[in-house]
Amino acid sequence: MTGPLDRGVRAELERAAALLAGAGVPSPRHDAEELLAHAHGVERRDLWRLTAVGDAYGPLVERRRRREPLQHITGMAWFRHVGLAVGPGVFTPRPETELVAGAAVEEALRLAAPVVVDLCTGSGAIALSVATEVPAARVHAVELSEQAHAWAARNLAGSGVDLRLGDMDGAFPELDGAVDVVVTNPPYIPVGALVRDPEVVEHDPALALWSGDDGLDALRVVERTAARLLRPGGLLLSEHADLQGEAAPAVLTATGRWDDVADHDDLAGRPRWVSARRRP
């Protein structure tokens, strides 16, 4: 913000932030400000221009107090350098996944005409980031859920990304052995695991969350699909749960199809994603 807040506006923001904090919302002040900006159709940095809080604000705060995702309320999620339309039926992209997308972008930028495949694309976040940041890339994406595919189609319209509806297992047979980067944020929560975050269990689609007894069933399909798609030396990048820092790389090493298998931390220092190169 570039100026002091109106006293009345500041009081309403503080009240809203206290309500959200009491409900366990992780970033109450940030969310209170984002909701106020959304209610008035302004950017958060321009809240200092407001002289009063309109009637629309209270109901928005109440929705967030009940732990409806902020992104569902505003209809928008920011991911790296792009804004994504999100809502019921699609996984809300998280900051952790930006690191995986960034690694895909970095690898693609090394190549003259990279071919990149995004498996389990969800909202299209990774695919759109690569297409936006690497204009020379040919980007392909696949999504199994019809609801999520509809959100991805909306976000990827005009981007040049080849988006398909279907299972990643068997997707893009015409690209076998010709892909430079396979990147994914697959489901990775073990069935029966206790998830305390209401935004996840009540609003993220089950198809994007659960992945067998050990949470690695989807990664096994990713491994098989990536091994088929990638050229020798091609790069696989996959997100995983923070408790899978050893188990996820083990899925890859066990097949004997990968070199340079390495695990990587997120910004909080937790194991979060694995990389590997297709063995010749």
- Please state the residue numbers annotated as binding site for S-adenosyl-L-methionine: 143, 185
Please say whether the beta carbons of 151 and 86 come within 8 A. Answer: yes
Q: Left, alpha or beta for 180 (phi > 0: left; psi -120 to 50: alpha)? A: alpha
Q: What are 217's two structure tokens?
A: 């069933």
Amino acid at 43: E
Q: What are 237's two structure tokens?
A: 């990048």
Helix (H) or strand (E) holding 184: strand 179-184
Amino acid at 280: P
Amino acid at 271: P
Binding-site residues for substrate:
185-188
Question: Which single residue is written with the structure tokens 């002040």?
Answer: 29
- CA–CA gap between residue 97 and residue 119 (Å, rounded): 13
Binding-site residues:
143, 185-188
Please say whether the beta carbons of 214 and 247 come within 8 A. Answer: yes
**Long-range contact set of residues 59-62: C-beta below 8 Å, sequence gap at least 24:** 60/35, 61/16, 61/19, 61/20, 61/32, 61/35
- CA–CA gap between residue 64 and residue 199 (Å, rounded): 10
| Secondary structure of 30-59 as H, E, C letters | HHHHHHHHHHHCCCHHHHHHCCCCCCCHHH
- CA–CA gap between residue 135 and residue 160 (Å, rounded): 10
